[in-house]
Chain A
Amino acid sequence: MPDVLVYALHHEGAFNRNSLGALSEAARLAGELGGEAHALVYGDGADAALCATLGRYGAVKVHRVAGPEGLAQPVVDAMAHVMRDHAFACALFGGGLLGFEIGAGLAARLRAGVAMEVIGVSVKDGRLVAERTILGDTQISEVEFASEVGIVIARLNAFEPVESGHAAAPVEQVVVEPSLFSTRARMLRRGEQRGADVAIEGAEVLVAGGRGLGRPEGFELCEELARAFGPGSAVAATRAVVDAGWYPYAAQIGQTGKTVAPKLYLAAGVSGQVQHRVGMLASENIVAINKDAGAPIFDFADLGVVGDLNKILPKLAAAIRARRGGR
């Protein structure tokens, strides 16, 4: 039972980067436990050939289950089924919304313990230990499990995909009868892109706007500032303002958006909730402007200004234009 099962999310013929990271980590952890890493792939969009490629990231076996993609509960049914037939010490999920929903549902189904926002897994005194960050990343709690299986849901980008050079993994097709309630939700439309298709991932300077902008027009200030920095700069957004329709989804950073690591990340009216933070924490320099002195972003900003961005941003844009023009 020292084996580890990983849920491998896929969309449009490609596996999710966070799932591949989780699988690579599972392979390492299984080595420590003296077991194997297995992957579970749900949905018809990933054919057997694609599933087999998970061997490169350390999967010794892939369990492939047919069914509708994008919903959590059918995957809970599938994982619980596979875990009944084969004992696992750990079910590991890469960061992301579906992983959270499936992992939590699975914990309820199996009466298992669950650790979330996990940044590391290890074996201590023969027991599985998960490390989770808490209190706005100011502390790490080590968690162990009293249940037979530990459910571990990683923080977004906690684990990097590593190609360990294994051959193609054998793929076993598993037939799972879904729970009645799992069939009572239906995906009508998946992955709709809302707003313009803007590119932010390669930008060296990102000006990110959040709810603190106050209104959609606040993004004009962000755009003006990004223009002042010149080529290689772009405007990004938080989930709250994207959900509100203020800015395109393609510019969103965080849990269900993009992951970025620019040279300069300048946050205007961004509170810095964990779902946002996980998408930009690798930025080299973080500057925050926010009128709320208690905003979590000030806990991890390199330079923070408590003030009115409507006053500061235009003058900052003008000053940067002047410096650049003076070169």
Chain B
Amino acid sequence: MRICVLVKEVPDAAVRKRLDPVSGRLDRSGERTLNPFDTHAIEAAVQIRESGALPVEEIVAVTMGPASAVRALHKAVSLGADRSLHLCDEALAGSDAPATGYALARALECERPDLVLLGQQSDDGECYALAAIVADHLRMPSLTQVVKLDVLDGRLRCERQAEYGYDTVEVELPAVIGVADALNEPRYPSLKAIMGARRQPLERLTVAQLGIEADRVGAAGAAARWRASKQPARRPAGTIFEDRDTDATVERIVAWLEERRLI
């Protein structure tokens, strides 16, 4: 049985993000890291293997992104993936969520996964659409924001919070599951695992190799197109200060509240 985990390299949360004023695309330069939400997906795969609930022979990390994205794959391998796939092609630059999901689905098809796991959202795009898109292309059942994942009689028993409370859903394999960060506490990789990650197999894939229709990906293939940017009406900037002397801090908060008749 094979589990594929979709991972993504994102700008470090501490980096101030901005929009490229010409293309309207997110400027994703600067310090980069593995999407923190994806570490929960890798941990989930590792826990399923360790528990023996499913006979997992292989955990494969899969990403789509520029050359630098290999670092996200190395991190994924250090956290427990056995090998990785890097979908890397100039033609993919600027792909929107539907195009990204389409391309990733083509890459996943070659692996014939029994389970596809991914983080509930990426840290940079505030987008939680990918699982549903990938699942529709792969024609697999899907559920996202899963906070509890068990295996019962070869099927998944998933719990998640939706609009009206917690839902319990049984999902047959193969399936695409988006995991919430509450699902588990990802472990820290050992130094040995970090050092060894670069030596694990990493396959680079192109659009041509996967038979991806070039006009469905990249900036030109995006069906939703950025038109213009504008500034929202914003609340006036707040007062932010650091607590150096807690008594003084509390006095300041109380004065602020009293001024607004909130006490």
Listed in ascending order, the chain A residues whose CB lies under 8 Å from chain B are 9, 11-12, 16, 70-73, 76, 96-98, 100-105, 107-109, 111-117, 124, 129-131, 133-135, 137-147, 150, 179-182, 184-194, 205, 229, 239-240, 242-244, 249, 256, 263-264, 274, 285-287, 293-294, 298, 300-308, 311-312, 315-316, 319-320, 323-324
Contacts and interface: CB of A to CB of B under 8 A. Distances in A.
Interface string B216-241: 10000011111111111011001111
Interface size class of B (residues with CB under 8 A): 35 or more
14 contacts: A101-B131, A101-B144, A104-B128, A109-B136, A138-B232, A142-B226, A146-B222, A185-B172, A186-B169, A187-B168, A264-B262, A305-B241, A307-B246, A311-B243
B170 A186 contact: yes
Interface in B103-128: 126-128
B251 interface: yes
Contacts of B18: 135
Contacts of B208: none
Nearest to A193: B165
Given A11-B163, A124-B227, A185-B175, 13 more contacts: A97-B145, A97-B162, A101-B132, A113-B96, A113-B223, A131-B230, A139-B230, A140-B231, A146-B223, A181-B141, A185-B171, A305-B249, A315-B247
A192 B232 CA distance: 37
Contact of A301 (B96, B140, B238): B238
A142 B98 contact: no
A16 B226 contact: no
B129 A249 contact: no
A287 B165 contact: no
Contact of B133 (A104, A285, A323): A104
Contact of A72 (B132, B168, B180, B242): B132
B168 A192 contact: yes
B230 A142 contact: yes
Given A189-B167, A240-B181, A264-B257, A117 B126 contact: yes
B164 A188 contact: no
A70 B247 contact: no
A179 B17 CA distance: 40
Contact of B222 (A98, A113, A190): A113
Nearest to A102: B132
B161 interface: yes
Chain A CB count within 10 A is highest, among B97, B157, B161, B249, for B161
B163 A312 contact: no
A22 B175 CA distance: 30
Nearest to B253: A316
Which DSSP category, helix, strand, loop or mixed, fits chain B's interface? mixed
B24 interface: yes
A254 to B, nearest CB: 10
B254 interface: yes
B188 interface: no
A316 B256 contact: no
B161 A185 contact: no
Contact of A112 (B164, B223, B227): B223
A263 B263 CA distance: 11
Contacts of A143: 224-227
A137 B232 contact: yes
Contacts of B161: 97, 239, 242-243, 249, 256
A144 B98 CA distance: 15
Contacts of B131: 101, 104
Given A111-B98, A298-B240, A315 B263 contact: no
Given A189-B168, A263-B262, A307-B243, A105 B133 contact: yes
A300 B240 contact: no
Contacts of B171: 184-185
Contact of B223 (A96, A111, A264): A111
Contacts of B242: 293, 305-307
A185 B142 contact: yes
B77 to A, nearest CB: 27
A324 B263 CA distance: 7
B137 interface: yes
Contact of A316 (B169, B175, B250): B250
Interface string B165-209: 111111110010000111000000000000000000000000000
Contact of B254 (A115, A189, A274, A319): A319
Chain B CB count within 10 A is highest, among A114, A229, A304, for A114
